[in-house]
Amino acid sequence: MTESIHNVLEKWHHVMASGTNEGLFELLSPTCTFWSPVVHTPQQGRDITFLYLSAASQVFATDFKYVRKVVQADSAMLEFECVIEGIHINGVDIVRVENGQITDFKVMVRPLKAVHKVHEQMMGMLELMKASPSA
């Protein structure tokens, strides 16, 4: 199972580095759960997880980098950093994989200023994507 998570993480890193969501939908389990740092309830299913992660790949497109990776069995913690509009953002993606697909994706962000900036940027991007499905 460890090899499987490494393959999935490699594909995920490619998605984030490419700035497109090509291959992302197939990477997500149909029953995937997305845990947002700003939405109280978990988001259930591949479609909504795809929407959130596609928006995130656009919001974090510039200056985003993973700075640490911890992998254990079927789970990984990926620490990231970026700067959006002068605000330094530090966070982690906690990813769980089964059968070569992401089944659980949790995002945690700090400090509070960064949480507010991520919320603002993500809501704007989600609205843009809903208004223009090809965005």
Q: Is residue 72 one of the residues assigned to a domain?
A: yes
Q: Is residue 50 one of the residues assigned to a domain?
A: yes
Q: Is residue 135 one of the residues assigned to a domain?
A: no
Report the domain count for the chain: 1
| pLDDT tens per residue, range 56-104 | 888 877 788 999 999 999 999 999 999 988 999 999 999 999 999 999 9
CATH code for the domain in which residue 9 is found: 3.10.450.50
Q: Is residue 20 one of the residues assigned to a domain?
A: yes
pLDDT(3) > 70 = no
d(CA 97, CA 29): 9
Token pair 């299913």 in the structure block, residue: 45
Per-residue CA distances from 121 to 27, 88, 91 (Å):
24, 14, 15
Burial 105-127 (b: 16+ CB within 10 A, else e): bbbebeeeebbebbeebbeebbe
Note the pTM of the prediction, 2 decimals: 0.87
Q: Which residue has the higher pLDDT, 58 or 111?
A: 111
Q: Provide the domain limits for residue 120.
A: 2-130
pLDDT for 18: 80
**Within 1-135, where are the H helices?**
2-18, 24-27, 46-59, 112-131
pLDDT band at residue 1, thresholds of 50, 70 and 90? very low
In percent, the amount of the chain with pLDDT more than 70 equals 96
First-to-final CA distance of the chain: 35
Q: Which residue has the higher pLDDT, 67 or 125?
A: 67
